[in-house]
């Protein structure tokens, strides 16, 4: 993960990034504290630690805080471009979220989609990005 501290400048949902640890020369072990404003009226605070970093193939983070689990970016060449996929496997830790999860799961999925789409849209203005599908 590179330039995480710059995310709030271009990703509307990222309100704050605080570097906590730099990690090794490849970024493994780097820790960032992030605050997200979601599409729904709540924020999320979490720390991410880079657990694997092969910038041309795979980047993995472990999340702890309001959500806990892992996030993995995989990158692969495709027709002269790079296909980037992000898999976010987390569970919620706030009591109201855990209790409401069976009923609120569709709202949480919609919310996550909105946050990710906002980032993809703005990032797409800076690089050549094909629409996801």
pLDDT tens per residue, range 31-61? 999 999 999 999 999 999 999 999 889 999 9
Q: Give yes or no for a contact between 34 and 17, defined as CB atoms under 8 angstroms apart.
A: yes
Q: In sequence order, what E strands does 27-129 have?
A: 31-37, 43-54, 58-65, 67-78, 81-92
> What are the tokens at 93?
């830790």
Report the C-alpha gap between 45 and 65 in whole angstroms: 6
Query: Which CATH number does 4-126 carry?
Result: 3.30.530.20
Q: What parts of the chain have a pLDDT lower than 50?
A: none
Q: What is the pTM of this model?
A: 0.83
pLDDT at 1: 53
On the 0-12 / 13-18 / 19+ scale of CB atoms within 10 A, 30 is buried
> What are the tokens at 32?
């960032």
State the sign of the Cα–Cα–Cα–Cα dihedral 52, 55, 58, 63: positive
């Amino acid at each position: 993960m590179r330039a995480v501290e710059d995310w709030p400048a271009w990703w509307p949902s990222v309100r704050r990034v605080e570097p906590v640890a730099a990690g090794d020369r490849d970024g493994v072990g780097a820790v960032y504290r992030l605050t997200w404003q979601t599409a729904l009226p709540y924020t999320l605070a979490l720390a991410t630690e880079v657990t694997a970093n092969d910038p041309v193939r795979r980047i993995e983070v472990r999340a702890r805080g309001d959500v806990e689990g892992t996030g993995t970016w995989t990158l692969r060449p495709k027709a002269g471009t790079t296909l980037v996929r992000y898999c976010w496997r987390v569970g919620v830790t706030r009591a109201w979220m855990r209790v409401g999860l069976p009923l609120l799961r569709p709202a949480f999925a919609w919310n996550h989609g909105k946050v990710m789409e906002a980032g993809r849209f703005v990032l797409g203005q800076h690089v050549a990005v094909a629409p996801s599908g």
